[in-house]
Amino acid sequence: MDKLIITGGVRLTGEVAISGAKNAALPILCAALLTKEPLTLSNVPALNDIGTMLKLLAQMGVKMEREGDRVTLDASDLHNPVAPYELVKTMRASILVLGPLVARCGEAKVSLPGGCAIGARPVDQHIKGLTAMGAEVTVEHGYVHARATRLKGARLFTDMVTVTGTENLMMAACLGAGETVIENAAREPEVVDLAQCLNAMGARIAGAGTDVIRIQGVDALHGATHRIMPDRIETGTFLCAAAATGGEVRLTGTSAGYLDAVVDKLMDAGCEITSEKLPGIETLMIQAPARLKAVSIRTAPYPAFPTDMQAQFMAINAVAEGTAVMRETIFENRFMHAVELIRLGADIRIDGNTAFVTGRPALQGATVMATDLRASASLVIAGLVAEGETHIERIYHLDRGYEHIERKLTVLGANIRREKA
Ligand code: UD1
């Protein structure tokens, strides 16, 4: 397995381009299942999760062409509405094919994703919503099997805010008969990006970005072109990397608009963040102090502080001045990076869903293990500020969600290299 070797102590400076959002691209690729006509997407990031999703769609009969960051999908001949365990187990977001497949083919068989490192992550809300829309859903032999001649509009209420749940039900409702209302809907910007793409395909969705989404079902969707929004978590991760190293970095092709909670906390930590809108491009500038102040956070659904940025903030708090209280409210087991950060010398105490992090003036390089996608990012940030060499093993997690991370960090002056297995 590949590993990353980082020699810490370099202050990051320079400019780097932010890629398209993984969590927007994944559902939008699945939206292609809803139409017989081609869907062309640009700003699609080159990530392993995107490769997995394309493989999944291909084995259902979707034809595709990929050139640079552009992907054209043609689902005119869908002959196999099945998502097998072998692919789903590597990426939970595969569940996003469920809604579109039942809506378009009248049937879908999708392997249950099972748990993952950060928690149990059930899909009961996806199933509850489809059932309310008239689908007959059974769970047998590890597969969710859903059937419906045509889904019908319904009033849906999810027990908790679920991002992919909202996306699955919104896509399914596009081809349903009548109006569907999703209450307690996720307000994440990626939900809005998906709704914009679906509306460009002829869907009638209103309210995306609020907690009540209304969808008027239509008989068919048509082809469209759509540009995937910038990745706000990649943006936040680079902001944290710059902040931790006392750096000065400009990020292009992204926007502060999706990142208020993160930007606020980095400013509380002592950073200066400014954005600039030039014709056709938006940039974000961060200038960090020599030492950050510790910042407490509590994760919650958008627009509050994102759980996908919690690990990166733990890394910056580990070297900040003072003590931070970090509360994780979305996933029950999302502190695995803490024990690895402790191996680098961090002072962290965990009590249930709360971490108490007291900043140390310095961390020391060591060998650590990446345990999930965002945990890996926090170890990279810690490695950038640790004294000496940090070896990060199991970086396949990083490749799932960060495009060319070591190349981008090298551009900013970091001393980081990949050692092939
Ligand atoms: C999405 C993001 C992920 C992010 C998470 C929370 C994608 C591809 N992934 O994941 O990066 O960390 O949102 O912002 O967009 N839950 C249930 N039953 C369900 C659905 C969810 O109990 O049917 C629970 C989950 O276990 C979790 C919480 O609800 O505790 C929120 O999960 P959810 O928003 O669904 O996360 P994902 O959509 O899987």
How much is the pLDDT for 116? Answer: 66
Radius of gyration (Cα) for the chain, nearest Å? 21
> Which DSSP state fits 5?
E
pTM tops 0.95, yes or no:
yes
Sequence-distant (≥ 6) Cβ neighbours of residue 89 within 8 angstroms: 111, 113, 114
Q: What are the tokens at 32?
A: 């292609």
Residue nearest to ligand 1 atom 12, measured at CA:
308
Active site residues: 116
How much is the pLDDT for 319? Answer: 98
Whether the CB of 308 sits within 6 Å of ligand 1: yes
Whether the CB of 284 sits within 6 Å of ligand 1: no
* Pocket residue to mutate for ligand 1, from 160, 169, 329, most atoms within 8 A of Cβ: 160
Whether the CB of 331 sits within 6 Å of ligand 1: yes
Cβ contact 380:392 at 8 Å: yes
Residue nearest to ligand 1 atom 31, measured at CA:
162
The position carrying tokens 């993160």 is: 262
Question: What is the per-residue pLDDT across 187-238, written as a single tens digit (0 to 9) for each?
Answer: 999 999 999 999 999 999 999 999 999 999 999 999 999 999 999 999 999 9
Whether the CB of 53 sits within 6 Å of ligand 1: no
| Atom in ligand 1 nearest the alpha carbon of residue 186 | 34
Whether the CB of 330 sits within 6 Å of ligand 1: yes
Pairing verdict, β 3-7 and 415-419: antiparallel
Whether the CB of 165 sits within 6 Å of ligand 1: yes
Residue nearest to ligand 1 atom 9, measured at CA:
23
Among the listed residues 375, 327, 322, the one whose alpha carbon sits nearest the alpha carbon of residue 351: 327
Question: What is the per-residue pLDDT across 94-130, written as a single tens digit (0 to 9) for each?
Answer: 999 999 999 999 999 999 986 567 667 789 999 999 9
- pLDDT < 50 regions, the chain: none
How much is the pLDDT for 98? Answer: 97
Pairing verdict, β 107-111 and 143-147: antiparallel
Q: What's the CA-to-centroid distance between 328 and ligand 1, angstroms?
A: 13
How much is the pLDDT for 267? Answer: 98
How much is the pLDDT for 61? Answer: 97
Whether the CB of 115 sits within 6 Å of ligand 1: no
| Atom in ligand 1 nearest the alpha carbon of residue 188 | 14
**CA dihedral (170, 173, 174, 180) positive or negative:** negative
How much is the pLDDT for 113? Answer: 84
167 by DSSP, 3-state: which?
helix
| Atom in ligand 1 nearest the alpha carbon of residue 22 | 8
| Atom in ligand 1 nearest the alpha carbon of residue 306 | 14
The position carrying tokens 């926007």 is: 255
The kind and range of the H/E element at 107 are strand 107-111
Count Cβ neighbours within 10 Å for each residue of 244-282 and write b for 16 or more, e otherwise.
bbbbbbbbebbbbebbebbbebbeebbbebeeeeeeeeb
